[in-house]
Amino acid sequence: MYEAADIDGASVWHKFRHITWPMLTFVNFFVLVTRMIGGFQIFGQVFVMTQGGPAGFTTPIVYYIYLNAFEWFKMGYASAIAWVLFLLMLGVTLVQWRLGQRWQRSVYG
């Protein structure tokens, strides 16, 4: 593909935009989804450093689930929050999947 682009006179930018970037679509999707899930699951740093911080301003959702389940013994509420978190991550992943497929169709024709 790069050789054909060279023969056609494509610049470095055009080769990156029309060949390299579309070939990395699946890698980009994987990295985006795993980083999003990792961002939702931050727990250790908050637990060790701030424990929710001043007035709860650094309390992520996973630490809030932990507090409800093991500090305040609201297991049902913590489970419900975990399910909502799961559905939120599933929804964002599906949106990213659909947008990625639409983008691939526009790139690959």
The residues, ordered by sequence, that sit 6+ positions from 104 with a Cβ below 8 Å of its Cβ are 22, 25
- pTM for the complete prediction? 0.75
In angstroms, rounded to a whole number, what is the distance separating the alpha carbons of residues 66 and 51? 11
Task: Give the type of residue at 59.
Answer: T
Contact 89, 37 (CB under 8 A): yes
Rounded mean pLDDT of 44-62? 87
Q: What is the dihedral of CA 65, 68, 70, 75, to 10 degrees?
A: -90
Predicted confidence (pLDDT) per residue in 59-70, tens digit: 899 999 999 999
